[in-house]
């Protein structure tokens, strides 16, 4: 067994982190769509939605880092030799892109909030203040906001493709989805 493979599949913690991060990303994405669509006449709802979105964004990177540490220590299931090499390489590139986006998108969101001209405080769980590390800068805010939005859409589309391929492999009798479900 190599350092990157585990004979008995993903650990319970690895599965929990996978599904928790997936749920947070999709929830954060939906909340993000809602928060920007809310009119200023619903200011309280808009502010709460922004804070929930920010909280989700603050939670994702440490959970992804924990997941990467577990993967480095525990490994992953052995690759399925029945899947063509080109598909395994594509999956590896897709996983690398997902991990990168899972770290970059929330950090960009935090930096975007830091540079926002309005300087609405960021709070974790609507309670714990999180200081902004950068000063307000309208031009930086607009540029960062556009990049954050584009990469968030990229992350969600890539994650949907990832899930879709897991389902395709499942339909073809591969254990991919069963391993992540713990069965």
Q: What is the pLDDT of residue 183?
A: 64
Name the more confident of 176 and 119. 119
Q: What is the pLDDT of residue 1?
A: 37
Average pLDDT over residues 84-108: 93
Q: How confident is the model at residue 8 (pLDDT cuts 50, 70, 90)?
A: low
Instruction: Please name the residue ranges forming H helices in the chain.
Output: 12-37, 43-74, 85-115, 138-171, 176-181
CATH architecture entry for 5-181: Up-down Bundle (1.20)
Average pLDDT over residues 113-125: 91
Q: If you average pLDDT over every residue of the chain, what do you get?
A: 90
Q: How confident is the model at residue 3 (pLDDT cuts 50, 70, 90)?
A: very low
Report the SS3 class of residue 69. helix
Report the SS3 class of residue 31. helix
> ∠ at Cα 2 (70, 14), nearest 5°?
20
Q: How far apart are CA 134 and CA 112, in angstroms?
A: 9
Q: Which residue, chain included where needed, has tokens 């709802």?
A: 45
DSSP state of 119: -
- pTM for the whole thing? 0.87
């Amino acid at each position: 067994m190599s350092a990157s493979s585990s004979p008995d599949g993903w650990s319970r913690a690895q599965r929990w982190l996978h599904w928790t991060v997936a749920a947070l990303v999709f929830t954060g994405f939906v909340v993000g769509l809602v928060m920007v669509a809310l009119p200023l006449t619903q200011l309280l709802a808009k502010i709460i939605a922004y804070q929930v979105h920010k909280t989700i964004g603050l939670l994702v990177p440490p959970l992804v880092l924990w997941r990467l540490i577990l993967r480095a220590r525990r490994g992953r299931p052995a690759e399925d030799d029945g899947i063509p090499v080109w598909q395994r390489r594509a999956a590896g590139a897709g996983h690398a892109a997902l991990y990168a986006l899972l770290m970059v998108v929330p950090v960009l969101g935090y930096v975007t909030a830091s540079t926002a001209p309005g300087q609405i405080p960021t709070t974790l769980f609507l309670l714990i203040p999180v200081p902004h590390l950068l000063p307000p800068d309208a031009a930086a805010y607009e540029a960062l906001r556009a990049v954050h939005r584009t990469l968030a859409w990229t992350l969600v589309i890539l994650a949907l493709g990832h899930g879709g391929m897991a389902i395709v492999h499942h339909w073809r009798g591969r254990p991919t989805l069963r391993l992540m479900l713990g069965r």
